[in-house]
Structure 1
């Protein structure tokens, strides 16, 4: 190894806790301050070092070299407790096999079908609202995205009882995720009320998904006996065979891993992106006016569908800028599997590397005036705007559902504004003080007013 430069340490570490207090006090501001100390910066949490990548090119190198910088570290240890070895959390040695099995479900030819599911579930959800109703958009948006995911993955609409259990359990997991990631193992095992709730929620999430997967397998088996075949993502995985043995390619446990992964990834991230877009547009009247004008022109009061996407260009710009400012996966870790080099630095095997799409998305060299909400920076002059770098990862492990999420986000944001005028209560608008697993806004209380031209029954 030829590199000799030592990774600089961030200033301000305190005895024992290191940088943890500063991180917990204002994590986003803490991350924005790290690039001033170098392209790689070491921070410490409770005595454990963590090397944060602050340079976009070095971040790309980490993402591309996924066998050297494998998914690992305390964050992925927590993810695997509920999600097992699903596509998002499995090690690189297993990832290629899983990716090959799942890739056909995300071929571009399948997106019109997924869009039809999105439109159908959006239409049903938005027509349940009524004029003058006050809602929490954070809850309502997540209900919609969960319904879409279950319909696309399992071929079933959302059972109210199941939804209630899953939503409550995922709330518990998200609320405790950051704490459980940062706490030493011995403290996570102490049977405090919070730890007990977290462990029980983890078990129930997997149990609920196991029940759904078992029911779907029964339907797939019935189809093999002559019933109509189902056309959904998990049915494809159930029917997949190992080319060498003709046995099922995935075990029941692996199917549950994928189900948990797809539900969690497809629910929180899209709902959060749409809510940030509404949040930011509401506080920027000119953006809201342009967004509403496009929605009215294209949709005229109806729910958006696949054929509308090419004309909802400004809507996608607004969503893309919201993703840049507040990317859902805001802080992620990798485990270094061998002695290596990263830029001018020597990185020893076992080093935990962290990268932050939030940090990268706020570098002024990449995005001038990065704290300004400016959808026009994504104007592609009639084409589709690019996705902010690192927001959906990169390399072989780039998010397989990135386009699914963007399509759903555009359809959802435009449909909300097509049917309803959404007046957010200003006292509820706040950025998250301590982000959880995903960088989503908190409660978003809003009053709904039916648009005059919307085909909505006003009660």
Structure 2
């Protein structure tokens, strides 16, 4: 059986598995999932003339996506006058994400991202990916993560030192502020000026709020409006700031032991250094990927813990035992096992990359559906992660489902799959674990009871806003 419907409804589950969490209306599906030879193709109902399913994708995208598995394992939808295919089965998702020769990073989303932030590792097509990944891989080597973790710990302390008991903050903004600072300071060294980092954060925020609408409705850029002007100004300012930083690094000629220094020293397959334009592209996408994905996961952690006191109690107990009131560091990670499971479970329920698109570069058949050249394919981890046949009681927030691994790990893909799998997976997991443990150790974060935060799908799945009351807590000293 699958549970479908509104993800913002609440349902109780046994205390051993967690407290009430956002759940969905139920509908009975076939008792057994079709096997590899019986995957079903279907079509989404309710398309409007001319606009197709655009109203659903703009007004209630998660509920709409959540309804699609009832119609098949690959479901045809209409975006305007164009067909797109949503994959609702992990086997199909795996095929698409691991076969970039047929399913490449082309199409409206990647065109918008490349036009705005450049042809970096997170947006480039197959032809450029292997070379770019080879250049960037040393920056994410395990040996460098310990240094990055030092930056994470410093930035968590810097952020929370600004808080005062009784203050109301927006957890979405605060987590984005934290992770952008970490991304910028690991890229550009700890001496990077704070005002410039703040301006970079603001530019990224404008982009993230605008790109989802522009993918669905490209014509929005043809209509003069304050939003269009703000969007364009932010992108121009972003590129100017990053170009200035690169110029300063080149002029200094000193290895500052950060990611940009590694990129400046890197050479491509022909021995050529990266141009300023290529450097700017890589920096833009690395900051974007490093900031927004982890911040959204942390914001969802705050929201879910606000309604799951049993999980919060266990988190605080672990943080008190391991940290004793200190900010979490790299050396603490092996002992923060429950905190890590909470992060894993939040990434299951609210995967930041909730809809991963690919475009067919040759005709292909998927589950009996014939896809023409240039067809848009949408892989949705959000849909896959909420299937009861792969994650029993999928609507429940249950960190303990990860205690002994998971029998269907192939259905868990918050960081993607294949050659394009997120290069910063270990970075993001370490940052989220360190930040969450530090926050619950020192602070009570109480979402305001009169306000609710619904998902705001854009390029990354994040809450729209999350006002919380912060109160300092006195952790139990470390034994």
- What corresponds to 1:226 in structure 2? none
CA shift in 2, pair 1:122/1:158, >3 Å = farther
Alpha-carbon distance between aligned partners in 1 of 2:150 and 2:40, rounded to the nearest angstrom = 53
- Residues 43-442 of structure 1: matches in 2 within 5 Å? 43-157=77-191, 159-185=193-219, 187-219=220-252, 221=253, 223=254, 229-242=255-268, 244=270, 246-248=271-273, 250-380=274-404, 389-432=412-455, 434-442=456-464
How many residues get paired?
Answer: 439
Q: 1:358 deviation in Å?
A: 0.7
Would the aligned equivalents of 2:119 and 2:278 in 1 still touch at CA under 8 Å? yes
Would the aligned equivalents of 1:58 and 1:342 in 2 still touch at CA under 8 Å? yes
Alpha-carbon distance between aligned partners in 1 of 2:402 and 2:269, rounded to the nearest angstrom = 44
Alpha-carbon distance between aligned partners in 2 of 1:423 and 1:285, rounded to the nearest angstrom = 11
Please state whether the residue corresponding to 1:258 is helix, strand or coil: helix
Please state whether the residue corresponding to 1:314 is helix, strand or coil: helix
Alpha-carbon distance between aligned partners in 2 of 1:289 and 1:447, rounded to the nearest angstrom = 18
Would the aligned equivalents of 2:135 and 2:268 in 1 still touch at CA under 8 Å? no
Q: 1:183 deviation in Å?
A: 1.1
Q: 1:345 deviation in Å?
A: 3.0
Aligned-residue CA RMSD in angstroms?
2.2
Verify: 1:449 aligned to 2:474, yes or no: no
CA shift in 2, pair 1:194/1:128, >3 Å = closer
Would the aligned equivalents of 1:430 and 1:441 in 2 still touch at CA under 8 Å? yes
Would the aligned equivalents of 2:41 and 2:367 in 1 still touch at CA under 8 Å? no
List per-residue Cα deviations over 1:386-426 (Å, max 9, x = no partner): 79622101100000001100000000000111121222212
List per-residue Cα deviations over 1:82-115 (Å, max 9, x = no partner): 2210000001010000000111111112211111
CA shift in 2, pair 1:257/1:71, >3 Å = same
Please state whether the residue corresponding to 2:462 is helix, strand or coil: coil
Alpha-carbon distance between aligned partners in 2 of 1:159 and 1:387, rounded to the nearest angstrom = 42
Alpha-carbon distance between aligned partners in 2 of 1:398 and 1:247, rounded to the nearest angstrom = 26
Alignment TM-score, normalising by the size of structure 2:
0.87
CA shift in 2, pair 1:161/1:347, >3 Å = same
- What corresponds to 2:33 in structure 1? none
Q: 1:233 deviation in Å?
A: 1.1
- What corresponds to 2:58 in structure 1? 24
CA shift in 2, pair 1:29/1:181, >3 Å = same
Once structures 1 and 2 are overlaid, which stretch shifts more, 291-300 or 123-132? Answer: 123-132
Alpha-carbon distance between aligned partners in 1 of 2:340 and 2:385, rounded to the nearest angstrom = 17
Would the aligned equivalents of 1:419 and 1:454 in 2 still touch at CA under 8 Å? no
Q: 1:157 deviation in Å?
A: 4.6
Would the aligned equivalents of 2:135 and 2:267 in 1 still touch at CA under 8 Å? no
- What corresponds to 2:45 in structure 1? 11
CA shift in 2, pair 1:217/1:343, >3 Å = farther
Please state whether the residue corresponding to 1:8 is helix, strand or coil: strand
Mind listing any 5+ residue stretches in structure 2 that lack a counterpart? 1-36
Alpha-carbon distance between aligned partners in 2 of 1:437 and 1:282, rounded to the nearest angstrom = 25
Please state whether the residue corresponding to 1:335 is helix, strand or coil: strand
Please state whether the residue corresponding to 1:35 is helix, strand or coil: helix
Please state whether the residue corresponding to 1:104 is helix, strand or coil: helix
CA shift in 2, pair 1:376/1:324, >3 Å = same
Please state whether the residue corresponding to 2:42 is helix, strand or coil: coil
- What corresponds to 2:30 in structure 1? none
List per-residue Cα deviations over 1:244-293 (Å, max 9, x = no partner): 4x431x11101000110011111111111011111111111111111111
Q: 1:8 deviation in Å?
A: 2.9
Would the aligned equivalents of 2:359 and 2:376 in 1 still touch at CA under 8 Å? yes
Please state whether the residue corresponding to 2:352 is helix, strand or coil: coil
List per-residue Cα deviations over 1:309-341 (Å, max 9, x = no partner): 111111111111111111111112111011223
Mind listing any 5+ residue stretches in structure 1 that lack a counterpart? 224-228
Q: 1:10 deviation in Å?
A: 1.1
Would the aligned equivalents of 2:350 and 2:382 in 1 still touch at CA under 8 Å? yes
